[in-house]
Each structure stands twice: as structure tokens, then as C-alpha cells.
Amino acid sequence: MAEEVLTGWRSWLESAGDQGIFLTRFFRNIFKGGFEWSEFVRQCYEIGYKSMMLVGLTSFIMGLVLILQLRPTLVSFGAESMLPKTLTVSVIREIGPVITAIICAGKIASSIGAELGSMKVTEQIDAMEVSGANPIQYLVVTRILATSFMVPLLAMIGDVIALIGGYIALNITDKISFFLYFNKCVGSIDFTDYMPALIKTVFFGFAIGFVGCYKGFHSNRGTESVGIAANSAVVTSSLWIFFIDMVVVQITNLLYYS
Amino acid sequence: MEAVENRKERPQWRNDLKKDEVVIEIKGLKKSFGKKTVLKNINLTLKRGENLVVLGRSGQGKSVTIQCIVGMLTPDAGSVKVFGKEVSELSDDELKEMRTKIGFLFQSGALYDSMTVRENLEFPLTRVLKMKDRNEINRRVEEVLDSVGLPDAGSKMPSDLSGGMRKRIGLARTLIVHPEIMLYDEPTTGLDPLTSREISELILKMQEKYKTSSIIITHDMECAEITSDRVVIMNEGEYVAEGTFEELKDSKDEFTRSYF
């Protein structure tokens, strides 16, 4: 049993070391010449544009449901007028970025993990490496930068759609003009609300891309490992999202509210 | 067939080469994975313009040897020199430069399946040789496609190709950068006898055309007969026999003869 525990810890430490090396290789390759712009744009399209529908739909439902759930409680306190503000603050600060990132972890991290895992299994990454090309620059740098760039963009779009969902929900029971609703929404947030949220989505995107690429790149031989890479990319990146969220909230509280 | 029939005669270009120039030299190579020792003591030389065939059962470390040559694996002990330079001592940039002179044909062809055949062929030109001249890129792509007998395959996706076609395109992709050394990892495995013969003849034809030195790892005796200048047989991590195909075929050693 002691040996099992030791082996477990050793492999965990080895994996942590591997991730450190992989991260160093990523940063070293960003600043090397010959950035793959066309592949970066292709990845932005694959990662961002093709996830927009899913993020949009989820955000719309989320905004709608939040208003429907919040309304009875706020009505009982006679604070109906607080509905747009409550929704905006919760969506912009927390729910929008986290839900978008979790959806992206499920869709993007798994697809990157599976794609690179299958390239590893079919020796395509090895072929790239022995030809003298740089697989980190072509496959990893482009994907991680694309997720770091597109996840914040998706989160912003998702936030706006969630507010539209909230407006529609509010109009099912009450009457409020579109102009007044959005005036209340925009008026209820400031720099300390949207800036930390925007920054944390960059980290969420980085974690999604990094974990997907690492899991794919380090998958073992055999088709089973492709599935394992995809699955573990989702689980690990989701955990990272919550961890990053916790750290950013603590830092934000220290900076702005202490 | 012409290339095969002419095989007995040494082509003029090989007579013109610097006599006995060694391009790969391996001494006392050892490699283990965990507790399993795969390579015990490998000693091997490849001369310029030579075709060396490595025979051996599966799991004997044939592929591990060529992976050590291109620096994909680091040896536990021993020396691997390519063009006179120790591979394990090369910096990242030197290793990259060395790899541009070596073509590696994988067993599966290892075509990039998200790209068309043309994009696969252009990849090493634009990413490795950093070529920008569109006319030269097109000329080279068309030349290698013609050489491997698939002039119209450019727009196809790898998934649309048969096993033999994938091997041909894989060969074209490695030859497009004009390597000095070719390493073939079981080039005819998984192919029908007719296609296997075609690939073996193509290897020979390409060697004549691009004047490469080659190490060919195979189980296929016909491939060995067609392509080899010299054959080595590997058993339990060591080379146990060496000679021409005919010499080994007539060997008195029972183990060696069992391959023929």
C-alpha cells in the first residue's frame, strides 16, 4: 500500500514537472520567429466562431432562468426594480465568465485533446518533429493563443446575450422598456466589475488551451488513449477554471473591496 | 522493373561518390525502457549511397535504432554519429538542421489528416526550408507527385487514399526537401504483395533519382531483396549477421537462413 501511495505521488510529481517543461516550451516558442498567423486565424474560427451558437444559447437560457428565479424573492422584498442590477452584476462578474469557460472546456479542451491525441497516436506529431518542423509552434502556440483570445470574446458575447434573455423574461411578467432595462444594466456595473472578469476569462482560455494541448501531446500510443486525453482534458481544465476563479476573486476583493 | 533489373550493376552516380564516406556511425548503442533492455550493443555504419536493410522479428528494437538516429530517443549508452556529429550533443537548432537532411518514412505514412495532399507536401517546404517562392513550391510539389506516380492526387485528403497511395505520398513528403539520408520504418507492412513490390521498386527508383543513403527496416524479404546493398539481421538487441542478401541467403547459420 505504501508503495502504491509513493508511486502515485511520484507520477503526480513527474506529471507536474512535465507540465512545467511544456509551459516553458510554449513560452519559448511564442517569441521565436515565424508565427503561424494562418493557423492562428483558423484556430480562432474553429474555437471561437464554431462555439458561438452553443455559448449564445446557453447564456440566453441562463439570463432568462436567472430572472425567473430571482423575481419571486425580490418581489417579496418589494425590490423588483433591483432585478436588472442583480442580474447584470451576477452575470458580468461571475456566472457569465464561468459558464462560458465551462462550456468551452467541454467543447474545446476535449476537441483539442482528441485531435492532438489522435495526431500523436498516428505518428503525425513525430513526423512533424523529425522533418525539422516545430510542432509546438504550429500546433500548441496557435491553439493556446486562440483559446486565450477567443474565450474572453465568447464570454463578452455570452454576457450580452444573457442580459437579452433576462430582458425577455422580465417582459413575460412585467413591462419594462428595452432602453430603460439596458440603462439600468449598464449603470449598475463599473470598471471593478468587468475588468477582473475580463482578465480571468483570458486565464480560463489559457487553461483550456494549455490543458487540451498537454493532454493530447502526452497521450500514450493506442486509440484508447485518445478518449482518455479528451476526457481528462475536460475534467482538468474545468478544475483549473474553478481554481483560477477562486484566486481572481480573492485578488479582486483584496484590491478593490478591502 | 527497370530499376530492379539494373540493381546488379552499381549505378555510375554511386561510383562517383567519395569512396566509403560514412554518413551514420553507431557504436555500442544501448537503450532500455524501464526494466526491459531493447538494444544491448548495436554497432552499425551506413555509407554514402548505400541501401542497408535491417531484418528482425517484431519488438527487437529495429525502430528504436532509427529513432535514436534522428534524436527522437536518447540512448542510455553508446555513440550515434550522423555526418560525423554526435546526435546527443547537438543543440536544438543543430538537431533541427540535421533533421532536414534526413527523411523518415513512418510505417503508417503519418500524413497530416487535416490537410490535403498538396498541403502535406508544401508543409516541409514552407515550415522547414522556409520557402516563399510560390512557383518553386509548385514545381517541387508537382515533381514529387510525378515521381511517386500520383500526379493528380494534390487535392485529395489523406482519408481518400489507399494504403499504398498513403505510403507514396508519405515518401513524396520526405523526398520533397531532398534529404541525404532516408530512414524507412517497415515501408511495405500492411500492403498487398503487388503494392509491396511497387513500393520497394519505388524506394529503389527514388534512391537512384535523389541519390540518398538509406536504412530500410522491414520483415518483407522481397523488399529486402529488391532494395538492399547490405543486410543486417537483428536478434535480442544485437546484430547477429551481416552481408549481402545473397550471402545471408546461403549462410550456414540456421537462424540466419530461417529468414530466407
Q: Residues of chain B with pLDDT > 70: what percent?
A: 93
| Strands B181-185 and B102-105, bridge-based pairing | parallel
- Rounded Cα distance between B214 and A162, Å, is 62
Nearest CA in chain B to A34: B127
pTM score, two decimals? 0.86
Predicted ipTM > 0.90: no
The set of cell numbers assigned to B190 is 500492411
Summarised one tens digit per residue, pLDDT across range B149-170 is 888 888 999 999 988 889 889 9
With a cut of 80, say whether residue B5 has pLDDT above it: no
**Residue A129 touches chain B, beta carbons under 8 Å:** yes
Nearest to B170 by CA among B208, B205, B126, B123: B123
Tell me the shortest Cα–Cα distance from A191 to chain B, in angstroms: 42
Q: Where are the domains of chain A?
A: 35-257
pLDDT band at B1 (very low <50, low <70, confident <90, very high): very low
Question: What percent of chain B is helix, strand and coil (3-state, nearest 5)?
Answer: 40, 25, 35
**Residue A231 touches chain B, beta carbons under 8 Å:** no
* Residues of B in Cβ contact (< 8 Å) with A130: 70, 72, 99, 102, 104
**Residue A126 touches chain B, beta carbons under 8 Å:** yes
Higher pLDDT among residues B19 and B198, named by residue: B198
With a cut of 60, say whether residue B10 has pLDDT above it: no
CB contact under 8 A, B130 and A34: yes
CB contact under 8 A, B124 and A131: yes
Q: Which residues of chain A have pLDDT under 50?
A: none
With a cut of 50, say whether residue B86 has pLDDT above it: yes
Helices marked H in A122-221 — which ranges? Answer: 124-130, 135, 142-173, 178-187, 191-217
Q: What is the pLDDT of residue A145?
A: 96
Q: What is the pLDDT of residue A191?
A: 86
Q: What is the pLDDT of residue B13?
A: 58
Q: What is the pLDDT of residue B6?
A: 46
Summarised one tens digit per residue, pLDDT across range A158-190 is 999 999 999 999 998 888 899 999 999 999 888
**Residue A14 touches chain B, beta carbons under 8 Å:** no
CB contact under 8 A, B107 and A133: no
Q: Mean pLDDT, to the nearest integer, of B171-186?
A: 91
Nearest to B98 by CA among B111, B110, B85, B107: B85
Comparing CB atoms, the residue among A34, A126, A138 nearest residue B110 is A126
* Residues of A in Cβ contact (< 8 Å) with B124: 131-133
* Residues of A in Cβ contact (< 8 Å) with B108: 122-123
With a cut of 60, say whether residue B3 has pLDDT above it: no
The set of cell numbers assigned to B194 is 503487388
Q: What is the pLDDT of residue A224?
A: 85
- Rounded Cα distance between B48 and B80, Å, is 16
Summarised one tens digit per residue, pLDDT across range A218-236 is 988 778 889 999 999 999 9
CB contact under 8 A, B127 and A126: no
The set of cell numbers assigned to A237 is 481544465
Summarised one tens digit per residue, pLDDT across range B99-110 is 999 999 998 889
Summarised one tens digit per residue, pLDDT across range B89-139 is 999 889 989 999 999 999 888 999 999 999 999 999 998 888 889 999 999
**Residue B96 touches chain A, beta carbons under 8 Å:** yes
CB contact under 8 A, B174 and A131: yes
**Residue B111 touches chain A, beta carbons under 8 Å:** yes
- Rounded Cα distance between A30 and B260, Å, is 53
Q: What is the pLDDT of residue A7?
A: 87
CB contact under 8 A, B127 and A129: no
**Residue A33 touches chain B, beta carbons under 8 Å:** no
Q: What domains, with CATH codes, occur in chain B?
A: 1-88+220-260 (3.40.50.300)
Q: What is the pLDDT of residue B63?
A: 87
Nearest to A163 by CA among A141, A142, A183: A183
**Residue A130 touches chain B, beta carbons under 8 Å:** yes
